[in-house]
């Protein structure tokens, strides 16, 4: 996975062999009936694959239907297969994109459930956060709470933001943006920063941290 930037500041991604590609997990965190933020997960899935940037792995928390958190996975005596599989998918991902809708100024309980479930899997994992709302502010109030939780657990959250206001107008049900060039331009900046952090993490792999 690599990229080049022209002098005009337009980022172009180099297509490389599928076997060389890394996996980027996309956590679709809403489990609400009639949810809309899943559209953003589909958009990133399509974006990563169409531009041959990475293998996209949508982790849909609705499909997992996890019970309310009662203990961290590493301390569970008889963990559920779904929890083990979820941990494996996060571990195997070079980076993670989290789609976090805004619920009353915070992020959904379904997302907190899985942040708390894991530990080592999150540590130094590059994570990019896209916040979503159906109003004009794109869920921007969510960013501080999810950033804080991920910082506490030792994930490496990238500073780039991807707020999605008016999600129903911005994306259709298949994740197709109504203004593709504008959305793709923002996505390129967002993804580019995640890729930079993934590269940096890999360069530092094996070195002791402080």
Ligand X SMILES: Cc1cc2nc3c(=O)[nH]c(=O)nc-3n(C[C@H](O)[C@H](O)[C@H](O)COP(=O)(O)O)c2cc1C
Instruction: Convert residues 89-118 into a mask of x (bound to ligand X by CB under 6 A) and - (unbound).
Output: ------------xxxxx-------------
What's the token pair of residue 5?
Answer: 């930037």
Report CA dihedral (85, 172, 34, 146) to the nearest 10 degrees.
60
∠ CA 144-148-151 to the nearest 5 degrees? Answer: 135
Q: How far is the CB of 189 from ligand X (least distance, A)?
A: 23
Q: Pick the closer one to ligand X by CB: 35 or 125.
A: 35
Site for ligand X in 1-20 (CB under 6 A): none
Q: Pick the closer one to ligand X by CB: 90 or 111.
A: 111
* Cβ neighbours for 24, distance < 8 A, ≥ 6 positions apart: 48, 53, 54, 55, 56, 57, 93, 94, 95, 96, 97, 194
Q: What per-residue string of b and e applies to 62-95 under the rule 16 or more CB within 10 Å gives b?
A: eebeeeeeeeebeeeeeeeeebeebbebbeebbb
Q: How far is the CB of 103 from ligand X (least distance, A)?
A: 4
Q: Tell which one of 62, 116, 120, 134 touches ligand X (CB under 6 A).
A: 134
What's the token pair of residue 80?
Answer: 């559920």
Site for ligand X in 135-154 (CB under 6 A): 135, 137, 139
Instruction: Convert residues 177-206 into a mask of x (bound to ligand X by CB under 6 A) and - (unbound).
Output: ------------------------------
Q: How far is the CB of 171 from ligand X (least distance, A)?
A: 10
Q: Pick the closer one to ligand X by CB: 102 or 121.
A: 102
Q: How far is the CB of 115 from ligand X (least distance, A)?
A: 17
Size of the site for ligand X (CB under 6 A): 17
Identify the CA nearest to 196 among candidates 53, 17, 43, 28: 53
Q: Pick the closer one to ligand X by CB: 62 or 120.
A: 62
């Amino acid at each position: 996975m690599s990229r080049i930037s022209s002098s005009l500041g337009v980022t172009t991604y180099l297509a490389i062999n599928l076997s060389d590609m890394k996996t980027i997990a996309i956590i679709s965190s809403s489990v609400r009936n009639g949810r809309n933020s899943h559209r953003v997960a589909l958009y990133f899935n399509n974006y990563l694959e169409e531009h041959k940037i990475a293998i996209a792995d949508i982790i849909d928390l609705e499909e997992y239907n996890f019970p309310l958190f009662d203990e961290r996975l590493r301390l569970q005596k008889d963990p559920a297969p779904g929890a083990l599989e979820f941990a494996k998918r996060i571990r195997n991902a070079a980076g993670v994109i989290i789609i976090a809708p805004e619920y009353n100024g915070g992020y959904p309980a379904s997302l907190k459930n899985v942040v708390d479930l894991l530990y080592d899997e999150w540590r130094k994992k590059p994570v990019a956060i896209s916040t979503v709302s159906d109003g004009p502010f794109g869920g921007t109030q969510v960013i501080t709470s999810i950033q804080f939780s991920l910082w506490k657990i030792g994930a490496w959250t990238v500073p780039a933001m991807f707020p999605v206001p008016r999600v129903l107008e911005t994306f259709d049900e298949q994740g197709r943006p109504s203004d593709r060039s504008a959305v793709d331009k923002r996505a390129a900046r967002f993804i580019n920063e995640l890729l930079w952090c993934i590269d940096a993490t890999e360069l530092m792999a094996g070195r002791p941290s402080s």
